[in-house]
Amino acid sequence: MAQWTSAMGSTQLARLLASQQARPTGAGARRPPAYRALADGIRLLMLEGRVPVAARLPAERELAVALAVSRTTVAAAYEALRTEGFLESRRGAGSWTAVPAGNPLPAARAPAPCLRRRSVR
């Protein structure tokens, strides 16, 4: 198992998850279970590069309090991410993000290009 390189606080992760756009729900559209929506949100943040690979995620209890959901919901979301290869955990050491075997690392966000014109002399 790889060692984590940075840590993501529960408040910071909750803020990032809240900043994601809500999925449009049409007539008859079914919402996914809360644990699935949470797992999908964390995975999307990783793939966008907003949560780095090998970042330690908050403990289940801390994240549950920050998101105002049950610990069972967070535990199920973490388990789904572990099953898919996006999370590694070790009892007593915590959980950190990972990339499933055979997949490339997500690219970090590229800086915006400078739009200033150079003067030609």
CATH number at residue 92: 1.10.10.10
CA atoms within 13 A on the CB side of 7: 7
Q: Helix 34-48 to helix 10-19 angle, to the nearest 10 degrees?
A: 90
- Number of domains the chain is built from: 1
How many whole angstroms from its chain centre is CA 105? Answer: 14
In a domain, 119, yes or no: no
Its domain, for residue 51, covers 6-20+33-97
Sign of CA dihedral 19, 44, 40, 1: negative
Residue 20 is predicted with a pLDDT of 80
**Local confidence pLDDT in tens for the 121 residues of the chain:** 556 578 889 999 999 999 886 655 566 678 899 999 999 999 999 999 999 999 999 999 999 999 999 999 999 999 999 999 999 999 888 999 998 887 665 555 444 444 444 445 5
In a domain, 81, yes or no: yes
Q: Which residues pair with 93 in a beta bridge?
A: none
Residue 104 is predicted with a pLDDT of 62
In a domain, 53, yes or no: yes
Q: Which residues pair with 56 in a beta bridge?
A: 7, 96
In eight-state DSSP terms, residue 8 is: -
pTM greater than 0.85 (yes/no):
no
In a domain, 86, yes or no: yes
In a domain, 14, yes or no: yes
In a domain, 48, yes or no: yes
Enclosing H/E stretch for 56:
strand 55-57
Residue 69 is predicted with a pLDDT of 96
In a domain, 78, yes or no: yes
In a domain, 113, yes or no: no
